[in-house]
Amino acid sequence: MTTTNLARAWWLQDMSTDVPKSQWHGSITRQAMDEKCPQYVWDSLQPDAALVRYKILHNRLYVHQERLAYQASTEGLGPALADRRAAFEEMALVMLYLYKLPDLEFLVSFMDETVNGCPALSYAMEARNASATGFLYPSYSVWRAATTPMQARSYMRCLDKSYPDENRYLKAVWRGSDTTDQVWKIFGSKALVSTTTATWLTVRRMRLAVLGMLFPDILDAGLVQVISADVETRAWWQTWAPLKESIAFEDYNQYVAVLDLDGNSWSDRFAALLPFNTLIVKQDPDYTEYFYSWLQPGKHFLTFKEGLEDLVTVMSNVLDMWRTDFKGIKTIVRNAQDFAATKFTHPQVCLALARTLCAFRDKMHSAAKMALQMASDGLMVMAVSCQDLGKPASLRVGQRGGTEGVKDK
């Protein structure tokens, strides 16, 4: 699959010929922006889908007026998606404070689901779908957890003192719920599900809970709640596979390893696990976020197959490695921490967003002309002016309309 080095920008590609399909080989047309995307989202996805149009003009952020209507409504997007939009706009304004970007118009999705077939910025992309399209940008959780390198290192030293290696449980830990969207995708319904043991075990997180029961010597894994079933099925599940007590997130560091699985879409907790002083053993993901291609399995974390068929073997090998190659495990942990300390800073997260926007603009049709036309169409309103944040002249490099301002410092 073709990628660029601009923060994981993806587009349609014919895998049989290794040549991008014509609709994405050239430009994103205005018709795709105005017609295909809204129709695709509203016809094919859930009714409260969030796809918002933004514009950067003269390094100021504008947003389509319909977003304000959504915010004022008591229905539709809901508080969670409104909060995601607020986080994105804050991140975008800081980005414009740090970097000079060209004029462009773009679409942003605030859903967990991917928006294949639509030129929009998304949190995640389907890793094994040859038709996966779109442009990845940092999620609300990555932005809000961003720190400085010094803060990150201090946090990591605190973890080392609070969770020493000699006091760890010799097993892997996982807690979570069944995740509604994964259940609905399998059973084809958004109704509360009543079904049999066999069909419930097609849900990956349910299978992990069963493995935790069968192999308690190496896996402390289980569900803390079942949210996708009717009352009768929930009671049945709890008698067949009892729920486990929740564990404070940082207390995962009491174990030799922490497991990471996809949820409704991408694994939102993965970025939060990277600063831990504990080995991450991650499911080969169905969905990947913007930074995933910068990491390497075996260097920053270990993996198991998405069907969990090799999880017991992988964890047995991890425990053997803990006893025989402890230094090797700590090297993987430190590599993950180094990545988190350097890449999950506010300037680096903003740089990733800036690179994605530049990749988006490179694929658009007459991007600068479109932006200038849209400035007077009465549909765009200014978000908080980035000038209100000040002007750090040392960082505002490059000419307006160019991309010099988003080069690595």
Mean pLDDT of the region 210-238 = 83
Of the two residues 25 and 323, the one the predictor is more confident about is 323
Minimal CA–CA distance to 59: which of 363, 408, 406? 406
Judge residue 120's burial from the number of C-beta atoms within 10 Å of its C-beta, 0-12 exposed, 13-18 middle, 19 or more buried. Answer: buried
pLDDT of res. 14: 35
Please say if the pLDDT value at position 21 is more than 50: no
pLDDT at 120: 80
Give 216 or 107, the one with higher predicted confidence.
Answer: 216
Question: Which of these, 210, 207, 205, lies nearest to 180 by C-alpha position?
Answer: 205
- Residue 212 near residue 299, CB atoms below 8 Å: no
Percent of the chain with pLDDT over 90: 38
Indicate if the pLDDT at residue 341 is higher than 90. yes
Predicted confidence (pLDDT) per residue in 312-337, tens digit:
999 999 999 999 999 999 999 999 99
Confidence of residue 369 (pLDDT cuts 50, 70, 90): very low
Distance CA 312, CA 309 (A): 8
pLDDT beyond 70 at 351: yes
The answer on pLDDT for 94 being more than 50 is: yes
Higher pLDDT, 246 or 102: 246
Going along the chain from its start, the domains and CATH numbers come out as 9-143+346-406 (no CATH), 149-343 (3.40.50)
Q: What is the pLDDT of residue 404?
A: 31
CA distance 23 to 176: 40
**pLDDT reported for residue 157:** 97
Q: What DSSP state is assigned to residue 35?
A: I
Q: Which one-letter DSSP state was computed for residue 290?
A: T
Q: 116-142, pLDDT tens digit by residue? A: 666 788 888 877 765 555 688 999 999
pLDDT category of residue 358 using cuts at 50, 70 and 90:
confident
At 202, the pLDDT band (50, 70, 90 cuts) reads confident
Q: Report residue 190 as tokens.
A: 């958004």
Distances (CA, A) of 208 to 6, 54, 87, 97: 35, 41, 33, 45
**66-75, 84-93, 173-182, 361-370 — which is least confidently predicted?**
66-75
Tokens of 74: 């008591």
Residue where the block lists tokens 């960082």: 395
Tens-place pLDDT, residues 237-266? 777 778 899 999 999 999 999 999 987 777
Q: Is the pLDDT of residue 48 over 60?
A: no
